Amino acid sequence: MDNQRFFLYAALLMVLFLIWQAWERDHRPPPQPQAPISQRAAQSGAPSVSTASPETGKTSSPAVASTKQAALESAKTIHVVTDLLDVDINTYGGDIRKLGLRKYPATLRNKNVPYDLLNNEPAKLFVAQSGLIGLGKNYPYHRTIYQATKTEYRLADGQQVLDVDLRWRSPEGIDYIKRFEFHRNRYVVRVEYLVSNHSRSPWQGYFYGQLLRLAPTEHHHGLFALPTVTGGAIYTPEDHYQKIKFKEMKESPLHRDVTGGWAAMLEHYFVGAWMPETVKTKGELYTRSLGNDQFVIGYKQTSPTTVAPGQTGTLGMNFYGGPTKQQRLTKLAPGMDRTVDFGMLTFIAAPLFSVLKFIHGIVGNWGWSIIVLTILIKGVFFPLNNTSFKSMAKMKKIGPRLKELKERHGDDKERYNREMMELYKREKINPMSSCLPMVIQIPVFIALYWILLQSVELRQAPFIFWIHDLSASDPYFVLPILMGASMLMTTMMNPSTGTDPMQRRVFMIMPVAFTFFFLFFPAGLVLYYLVNNLLQAGQQWLIMRATDTGKT
């Protein structure tokens, strides 16, 4: 095989990969919906679960809200600060209206302002709601107005747990305490109800937790749109991890019975998720479109909690709002680590990322860690690359003879190919040996692409000089230009074996095209390709020099 032609095909493969990536994001089939729980309950003879609105006394789904509602109604705000979180809880509904991540600044310019994962602003609406539903009329849910004794809570030095209580009493004489339990060094908030049944009848209820979000405005940038996701995600033991777009929530609302599992809203580097207490909890995953680009995804328990007269019971769920760091996510619930989406090559990307984290633990800088990882990968593939470059060097030597064969037998392709294969055999050249090592390395390159794109550890991570954020593009385009120059250098070092002039021109254009692509890519990703190209050029030069001087 013509080695230059292979490099051209490899570059084309990368472009096709980006095109496929964009197409797959727009055409992924939605999860298959099931019949609503009320319909399934009616078919089975079981009662359906409903809740009563305090305003009307009529039953409604927990996700139902007015489609004319531009902003959420509000009452008193309770401010909570822990070592990791800066939280606003509203007594209207007991919603978590703001959740700031104190270890993750919103911008590099002002590191004292935390990034708000949850936000109550109408243009950025993303809140966590929860409540109770049951067979009666009066249950506290996300439109109930609670009472609070304090408006400010702060986790003190040395304090491990902080409880924030909201209270509500039903007309039937049932007291409810909605408790938010915060822990030091945890992004998980335990949300539970303490139900004190002062009535004469047993109490039964179900907990639900949901995330309400305004769909962000979509911007289409073609191949330059990085493959990040803002939308829903669910996990079930049967179907495992699935993403759900807002368009899918609108067209095919989800109702799925599940044991265990969880429901989440994703955005680049961060996730909010409702998770049941145990993997044996029976529940229902659901999505809703509320109009005005507002969408809900949630988890509703379907096994009731019963509290006898004169007794107190508890029921609740865990809410996680924080970064997509695997070391935290793997401890939460099965499948939560999948929210760090390394694509279809996760089986390669996951161990590579573990190595990258190990290196960072030693060198303490993510930029240098990327460089060391690149060197290690090149070292692993050194024998294969040696074989490839030696074959390329031999191909370069016989280039004039191949050109002569083409001039003599160019019109007779069958004879030309036969003569060329005989020449390869006499010179002990296997043309595939220069291609196969590179083909084997392509999955590794793609896996690293996903690692460097999806890892929250690289968000706002500095390298050196002007690179203050490896997850953002180079502000002065220095790295992309150097990467393009290094790609052009390796291209010019490739042997010419009689390729036609048009193909050679296209081949020389590829570094320019890729430089343009990489102008918009994260600096960490460009750094990897730059170092990889430089190492490849050095190895290729040594092999070519040794071959030319007769040392191999």
Which residues lie closer than 8 Å to 272 by C-beta, 6 or more apart? 99, 117, 118, 126, 128, 211, 264, 265, 319, 320, 321
pLDDT of 425 above 60: yes
Mean pLDDT of the chain: 82
| Domains in the chain with CATH codes | 3-19+349-548 (no CATH), 32-62+75-217+225-338 (2.70.98.90)
- The whole-angstrom separation of Cα 187 and Cα 50 is 31
Q: What is the pLDDT of residues 83-122, one digit of tens each?
A: 999 999 999 999 999 999 999 999 988 888 999 999 999 9
Largest CA distance in the chain: 104
- Least confident range of 77-81, 183-187, 212-216, 319-323: 212-216
Residue type, 282: K
Q: Which two tokens stand for residue 246?
A: 């807002």
Give the tokens for residue 63: 């996700």
DSSP symbol at 479: H
Convert the pLDDT of each residue in 192-217 to its tens digit.
Answer: 999 999 999 999 999 999 999 999 87
Rounded to whole angstroms, the Cα distance separating 522 from 505 reads: 29
Cα–Cα distance between 242 and 171 in angstroms, integer? 42
Split at pLDDT 50, 70, 90, the class of 437 is low
Residue 136 pLDDT:
76
Query: Is it the case that residue 319 has pLDDT exceeding 60?
Result: yes
Q: Whole-angstrom Cα distance, residue 426 to residue 127?
A: 72
Confidence of residue 494 (pLDDT cuts 50, 70, 90): low
- SS3 sequence, 261-289? CEEEEEECCEEEEEECCCCCCEEEEEEEE
Asked whether 323 and 101 are in contact (CB, 8 A), the reply is yes
Sequential DSSP letters for 492-525: HHSPP-S--HHHHHHHHHHHHHHHHHHTTS-HHH
